[in-house]
Amino acid sequence: MQITSKFTIGVHIIAALEYFKNEYNVTSSFLAGSVGANPVLIRTIMTELKEAGLIEISQGKTGIALAKPIDEISFYDIYKAIDCVEENGLFHFHEKPNTDCPVGKNIHKAMDKRLEDIQVCMENEMRNISVGDVYADIKKEMNVK
């Protein structure tokens, strides 16, 4: 089980847009430098964030900006926007358990509901964490050093 790095990159992009909003005309190249990733990947993620209504992208002076306050953008919003989990869920079940084995025959039924419950709990927790929380910690760390 692993959520792709596109999720953390999405959070990074949102936090950077907030941080640099009054200092720079933030571009995908600028964000790629901050994230340490290829600009093509950054543009792909930005397109997903835009389609989800989390950022606005325009040519010219305004560039890229948040579409709503950072405190209103949850981890769940980014998780859903980035589509970083396969459609069939967070957990990928092994595909060919031996149906001649009593464990193999029943393992799917015994685990499916539990795995679904775990994913629901995780997603509910993600709804309670905003990128604003991360941004506040970033600002706090800057003041400590």
Does residue 84 surpass a pLDDT of 80? no
Write the CA distances from 2 to 47, 91, 105, integer angstroms: 22, 8, 26
Average pLDDT, the chain: 90
Q: Could you state, in order of their start, the residue ranges of all structural domains in the chain?
A: 6-144
Residue with tokens 């600028």: 30
Query: What does the pLDDT read at residue 54?
Result: 98
Percent of the chain with pLDDT over 90: 71
Residue from 24, 20, 123 nearest 77 by CA: 123
Share above pLDDT 70 across residues of the chain, in percent, rounded to a whole number: 92
Q: Which residues contact 90 (CB under 8 A, 6 or more apart)?
A: 1, 3, 115, 118, 119, 122
More confident residue, 22 or 45: 45
The pTM of the full predicted model, rounded to 2 decimals, is 0.86
95-124: average pLDDT:
92
CA 80 distance to own-chain centroid: 7
pLDDT at 121 over 70: yes
User: What pLDDT, on a 0 to 100 scale, did the predictor assign at position 2?
Assistant: 67
Model pLDDT, residue 1: 54
The tens digit of pLDDT for each residue in 24-81 reads 888 889 999 999 999 999 999 999 999 999 999 987 666 799 999 999 999 999 999 9
CATH 1.10.10.10 fits 6-144, yes or no: yes
